[in-house]
Amino acid sequence: MRIAPERLVPALYWTFRTWEATLRIGEENLEAVQRIWDAGGRVVFACWHNELFTCLTGRANKKLVTIVSASGDGALLAGVLSRLGFWCARGSSSKLGVRALVQTVKVMRDQQRDGVITVDGPRGPRHQVKDGVIYLAHRLGAYLVPTRGLSSRHFVFSKAWDKFELPLPLARCSVVYGEPYKVEAEELDKAAVDRETARLAEKLHALG
């Protein structure tokens, strides 16, 4: 008998919160993001899919908008994230999806929320930035913030496409924020998008 995703969400949420409580968590360079908030700006946090668990432990701002796969697994993740204070749009796998992108832009504007995107998710290829995050930041005039979730000890799900990392209890975890920046191109043609995705990937790798 298949259990409906909504019935599993409470257990998964409390499992995450209990696991999170065993970790030693810190944040680096949050002051760079804080300066943008103080000036009334919006940001889009860009992270790798395999570091999502550690990134979620950051205390920077839980009033976030994100895009989650329309799959069954995505329903579980969306349920947990909603309980953490996120607003979730459901999108396609290869790109953000037009409907999800429009929803995200509207919510970020109307509710003064920031965004967070796993830039290589939800199905990869691993550590290859997709173009949706570039369109999102450009449309909003928001700052992109390369973000890494690094842990001293973790279990790697080696058979998963992203080699997902689960920090082990008592591990030291750090959410590292890169220097915020804006998309440079005025018009996003293919060449400009390719430049911007390569630029973001370079910044993410440099943080690690």
- pLDDT, tens digit (0-9, with 9 covering 90-100), for 139-195: 999 999 999 999 999 999 999 999 999 999 999 999 999 999 999 888 899 999 999
Which residues, in sequence order, are CB contacts of 19 under 8 Å at separation 6+?
167, 169
- Hey, what domains does the chain have and what are their CATH numbers? 5-207 (3.40.1130.10)
pLDDT score for 93: 46
| Arithmetic mean of pLDDT over the chain | 89
C-alpha torsion 116→74→25→124, nearest 10: -70
pLDDT at 45 > cutoff 50: yes
Burial 150-163 (b: 16+ CB within 10 A, else e): bbeebeeeeeeebe
With a threshold of 0.75, does the pTM exceed it? yes
- pLDDT, tens digit (0-9, with 9 covering 90-100), for 59-82: 665 689 988 877 767 788 888 888
